[in-house]
Amino acid sequence: MEHLHIFTAGLTAVILFIFGLQNFSKEVETLAGEKFRKALAKATDIPVVGLLIGAAVTAIIQSSSATSVIAIGLVNAGVLSFKNSIGIVFGSNIGTTVTAQLVAFKLTSFAPVLIVAGFFLSLVHSRYAIFGKSIFYFGFVFFSLNLISSSLQPLQNDPVLIGYLTQPQNPLYAILLGCLFTALVQSSSVTTGLAIIFTQQGLMGVENAIPLIMGANIGTSATALIAIFNMDIAAKKTALSHLLFNIGGVIVFLPLFLLFGQHLDRLGTSPAIVLANFHMAFNVLTGVLFIIFINPFARFIDLLLGQGKMDFERLAIPVVEREDRYENTRETMDKNIAPLLEFLQENYNLVTLSIESNYRNVFDASSKRIDYLNFIHDEYLGYFSNVVTTVTDEQQSREMLKIITLYDYLFQVHDSIEDLFTTKKVIDRYYIELGSDLILIVRKLSSATLELFDEIHSAMLENRPPNLSARVGELREAMDDANRDLLKLLAKSEREDAGILSNFVTFSRRLTDKLVNFAALAVAGGVNGKSPSERGSEQT
């Protein structure tokens, strides 16, 4: 009965530890926002820089899984190349060693102070209140570790258990156990923290704990592997490199541990400190070793998965350089308008096709492209705030405002397409099956809207005003006809599909208005940002 009580108390403390660690990671990610992702994206072609960035970010958020998953997402978005992401993945393992060091040196005693400080800081009406929850959960993580330690103290009097855990066991079993447990709790920090507490309590020998934390490194790759479903080949390469890196580190250092592991006790320091230092040395040396051989490692990953191509072309992400002049930024913005419009047209085509056909692969493709454009939207918002620094006079200011407004209309078009996609999600969520008459309405509206997209895009490429009157008139007439048909169907209780499609018509009307506004502004300001007089002088 006593052992059951100890097990229940220990398990509760472990659950609290996992809860605290997950929430601390989320709070820091939320606090950092886009800056956090951009810190990863700024890794250069120098692999060591990526290693340091990965280590620093993981040390802050205390989750190598989160770092690797975000790196994979950036690769999938086309922000990071596969090779640049490898250094970040390597560094993520190094960042997790901070927790082990704090636990080993018993700095967890400050946990109550952090909890109290974080709680009261979150209540203060100040801009610093946003740090309150992060500090609270940071203290909560180590407070729960103290609970685990105190709940396990009675086991120090169990000679049978101590004899079993302190006697050297098969390291392969310990590696497997560490791998499975870490994959289950989705955090190597949990496994490592528990191993160090066990050694502090005298419940586990260092020789058994070291293979356990080696297995934890492999198990932390599970999150990344789960995240790569429906991602591009480059993102899958990053996830595979994370797994092979962790397995490779174990393969390299396990023979050294088997040869010299029995001599670790001779270091004369606390077993917990020995374990924490080994954890750090293991991850740092593995990272440095793989960075040295990063080129052959990357070629090996390419050999396994092939070069591959992204499932859709990524848009250019503009950046304002310090030496850029107004003419450079305007030329860049002019050049990127047409590709963005074309990308939106393909998004609209896929979304309406997913509503018509109900094919899962079309739905997934639509979802990925919409998520990607949300990312592009955020990038452009940051870009616009930097673009204004290149403006030097009032004329340039007016021109820049007009171009930014064009982009704003295009992102409003994206919002309407996303609304249409939400309609599709509602159809799927409530298992609504569209009747053939409504599918015809969707097809008619989508065909007319795609023709409108085509005309505006062609006019931009040919530097001519778009011919919209006939197309817009036909499209609005088709929407009016659709509304009349839907009103008749709404009176029939068995036609639940009519209600959901009325939203489709409403969102289609908004999308049309935004496209027309975009085209009108493009004509007024000149196609591709050139005024009619400028185009005329160029032709002359």
Report CA-CA distances (Å) from 360 to 48, 350, 437, 504.
Answer: 41, 11, 22, 19
Residue 348 corresponds to which tokens in the numbers above? 């609209």
Confidence category of residue 197, pLDDT binned at 50, 70, 90:
confident
Q: What is the pLDDT at residue 162? A: 63
Q: What is the pLDDT at residue 37? A: 64
Q: What is the pLDDT at residue 73? A: 75
Tens-place pLDDT, residues 403-446: 999 999 999 999 999 999 999 999 999 889 999 999 999 999 99
Percent of the chain with pLDDT over 70: 86
- Cα distance between residue 439 and residue 217, in whole Å: 51
Tens-place pLDDT, residues 14-57: 888 778 877 876 776 666 555 666 666 666 668 888 888 888 88
Q: Looking at this protein, which amino acid is placed at residue 57?
A: V
Q: What is the pLDDT at residue 538? A: 41
Q: What is the pLDDT at residue 38? A: 65
Query: Taking all residues of the chain, what is their mean pLDDT, rounded to a whole number?
Result: 84
Contact 320, 389 (CB under 8 A): yes
Confidence category of residue 69, pLDDT binned at 50, 70, 90:
confident
> For 87-91, 121-125, 403-407, 458-462, which range has the lowest pLDDT when averaged over its residues?
121-125
Q: What is the pLDDT at residue 157? A: 67
- Cα distance between residue 89 and residue 69, in whole Å: 9
- Cα distance between residue 51 and residue 90, in whole Å: 6
Q: What is the pLDDT at residue 534? A: 45
Q: What is the pLDDT at residue 532? A: 38
Q: What is the pLDDT at residue 305? A: 84
Give the SS3 label for residue 1. Answer: coil
449 has a pLDDT exceeding 90: yes
- Average pLDDT rounded to a whole number, residues 128-136: 85
- Global pTM reads 0.67
The Cβ of residue 153 has, within 10 Å, a number of other Cβ atoms equal to 11
| Cβ burial 201-222 (10 Å sphere, 16+ → b, else e) | bebbbbbbbbbbbbbbbbbbbb
Q: What is the pLDDT at residue 160? A: 67
Q: Give the distance, in angstroms, between the CA of residue 253 and the centroid of all CA atoms in the same chain.
A: 31
- Cα distance between residue 344 and residue 410, in whole Å: 8
Kindly tell me the sign of the dihedral angle through the C-alpha atoms of 206, 211, 212, 213: positive
221 has a pLDDT exceeding 70: yes
Q: What is the pLDDT at residue 332? A: 92
Tens-place pLDDT, residues 162-187: 666 567 678 898 899 889 888 887 77
Q: What is the pLDDT at residue 265? A: 64
Tens-place pLDDT, residues 470-479: 899 999 999 9
Q: Which domains does the chain have, with CATH numbers?
A: 2-305 (no CATH), 326-539 (1.20.58.220)
Tens-place pLDDT, residues 242-301: 999 999 999 999 998 888 777 766 665 788 888 888 889 999 999 999 999 999 999 999
Please give the residue that has the higher pLDDT: either 1 or 74: 74
Q: What is the pLDDT at residue 324? A: 84
Q: What is the pLDDT at residue 405? A: 95
Please give the residue that has the higher pLDDT: either 149 or 483: 483
Q: How many residues does the chain have?
A: 540
Contact 29, 36 (CB under 8 A): yes
Confidence category of residue 536, pLDDT binned at 50, 70, 90:
very low
Give the SS3 label for residue 312. Answer: coil
Rg (CA), the chain: 29
Q: What is the pLDDT at residue 318? A: 83
43 — phi, psi (to 5°)? Answer: -60, 130
